[in-house]
Amino acid sequence: MGLMERIFGHGPRWGVHPADRKRPAADAPLRTLPLPARLYLPLLQHVGQPARPVVLVGQKVLKGQLLAEPQGRISAPIHAPTSGTVAAIGDITAPHPSGLPFSAITLASDGEDRAIENEVPADPFALSPAAVTELVAAAGVVGLGGATFPSAVKLALGKRTEVTTLIVNGGECEPYLSCDDRVMRDFAAGVVDGVRLMMHALGAREALVGIEDNKPEAIAAMSKAAAPYAEIRIRPVPSRYPMGSDRQLIQTLTGKEVPSDCRAADVGVIVNNVNTAHAVHRALRQGEPLIRRIVTVNGGAVWQPGNIMAPVGTLASDLLAFAGLKSEPARLLMGGPMMGAVLPHALVPMVKGTAGILALAADEIATPVAGPCIRCGNCTRACPIGLLPLEMAAHIRVDALAGAADLGLSDCISCGCCAYVCPAHIPLVQYFSHAKGELWAQERSKLRLEATKRLAAARVERQEREAKEKAAAAARRKAERAAQKAAEAAAAASAPTEAAT
């Protein structure tokens, strides 16, 4: 890097470049976890409505059998990762720092791993895009990059808004994680096939596979696998966190900027992770629903860091026991160090969206004491969205949440770049999460207040209307009575005449 580049900058103007710490875990061959005795399958492993159990406690199930069906428009089913008995349906610890209980199906494995027979279409490309999307939905495939948005819902967007480009996210910008790297190295053909299937479902003309240039082996493997298909292009991108964030990757690969109130599909682009592509491939070619995934087990406290193919619902403790622990981990994380969540303990199951379990040693975790902001502006330079984290934090510190919202708080993606570079170690992401939650609560109570007001106004209006109607009815009855009387009087008056004739 030259002097001028050093002073004037180069590459993307946003983001940070943390030490990636992906190797040696990324280079270790993929291992398969021996079947755990028990699996814990939360009913909500995706964005949207939780799935509804369709099995009973004590019921025997086969591998791949439906355990819980989707409910609502945005939801995903859950399948049995192995054969066994449904041991319980109830609360377990959620894979979340709160450690709050969470509804889940507990499956006791019978060790036989007998699979259900699933029909596989002879040629999925002969199916209509809608039929492919339906099969993806039935397989319970969700976004495996971490967002866990049901993939079929995304694929169906291709019908409603014309999607021309499928972007396949092989960025994997989070340090420590290498499950995307591994799937591209070991299953490149499957990933490319999944990409083609998704293109078919979307009606997309081209696919761009963005891979950070710190993964040369993956780039080589994918380039080889995609060589026969001109419509799939492998595009190395600079290693820069958060390159794996969809808006950043879309901008880097296509030059398009997703408007802040739109989804990627609105500009003709859909982003899917490489592991999601592989899951689509397995669902359509092997009839295997999403019941296992590659998970990275890494960190300074891990004896044999690497990637492990494990059934969904495996406890973090089982994964750590398989990889071995050198020392008591100082912090357990689900996901990467930039955006991952702290696990309260290791008896928490990995879910569909779990890319990694990190057991970090004491020297790897940051516990600096926060100091006052010196307005150095590092956070504004690092923010991939172009926000002013220091100004937003100054507003939030004095509870001026509206001011923070005016500065663009709702555009914040909580990537953590600002907190990463802050020399005063201010927990900026916490500030923003707090403010977002508070604003959300305020919005809710405002809506509730408005609803109450609306109801009260409707009641007053109804009472007034009823009173008016009552009065009108009374007047009508009075008029009717008067008319009747008049008629009677007239009849009485005319009676003698009648009698006279």
Instruction: Give the footprint of another protein on residues 404-423 (CB under 8 A).
Output: 407-408, 411, 414, 416, 419-423
The encoded tokens of residue 156 equal: 């169906």
Q: How far apart are the first and last CA of the chain?
A: 127
How many CA atoms are closer than 13 Å to the CA of 137, on its beta-carbon side? 20
Shortest gap between Cβ of 450 and another protein (angstroms)?
A: 25
Of the pair 209, 429, the CB lying nearest another protein is at 429
Contacting another protein within 433-452 (CB under 8 A): 433-435
From the list 146-154, 345-353, 425-433, 451-459, the region that binds another protein by CB under 8 A is 425-433
Contact 105, 89 (CB under 8 A): yes
Residue 383 amino acid letter = C
- Residue 71 or 164: which CB sits closer to another protein? 164
Nearest to 116 by CA among 81, 148, 144, 91: 81
Q: Is the peptide bond before 242 cis (omega within 30 degrees of 0)?
A: yes
CB of 61 to another protein, least distance (A): 35
Q: How far, in Å, CA of 81 to CA of 420, rounded?
A: 38
230 binds another protein (CB under 8 A): no
Q: By CB under 8 A, tell whether 211 contacts another protein.
A: no
Cβ 370 to another protein shortest distance, Å: 9
What 3-state class would DSSP assign to 458?
helix
Rule CB under 8 A: is residue 16 a binding residue for another protein?
yes
Question: Cα(191)–Cα(276) distance, rounded to whole angstroms?
Answer: 8
Q: Which of residues 169-188 bind another protein (CB under 8 A)?
A: 175
- Please pick, from the candidates 94, 138, 219, 385, the single residue that binds another protein as defined by CB under 8 A: 385
316-375: which residues touch another protein (CB under 8 A)?
A: 331, 333, 337-342, 344, 360, 364-368, 371-375
Q: How far is the CB of 163 from another protein (least distance, A)?
A: 10
Quick one: which of 386, 402, 444, 475 contacts another protein (CB under 8 A)? 386
Kindly tell me which of 18 and 289 has the beta carbon lying closer to another protein: 18
CB < 8 Å & 24+ apart, contacts of 251-254: 252/12, 252/210, 253/167, 253/208, 253/210, 254/165, 254/167, 254/208
- For 175, half-sphere exposure in the C-beta direction (CA atoms, 13 angstrom radius) is 18
Contact, 119 vs 284, CB < 8 A?
Answer: no
Among 380, 403, 405, 439, binds another protein (CB under 8 A): 380
Cis peptide before 259 (omega within 30 of 0): no
Of residues 235-294, those binding another protein (CB under 8 A):
247, 251, 253-262, 266-268
| Between 41 and 338, CB nearer to another protein | 338
Give yes or no for residue 306 binding another protein (CB under 8 A).
no
- Least distance CB 24 / another protein (angstroms): 18
Q: How many residues bind another protein (CB under 8 A)?
A: 79
In the beta sheet, which residues pair with residue 273?
169
Contacts of 24 (CB under 8 A, 6+ apart): 305
Q: How far is the CB of 345 from another protein (least distance, A)?
A: 12
Would you count residue 18 as binding another protein (CB under 8 A)?
yes
Please state, as a whole number, how many other Cβ atoms lie within 10 Å of the Cβ of residue 53: 19
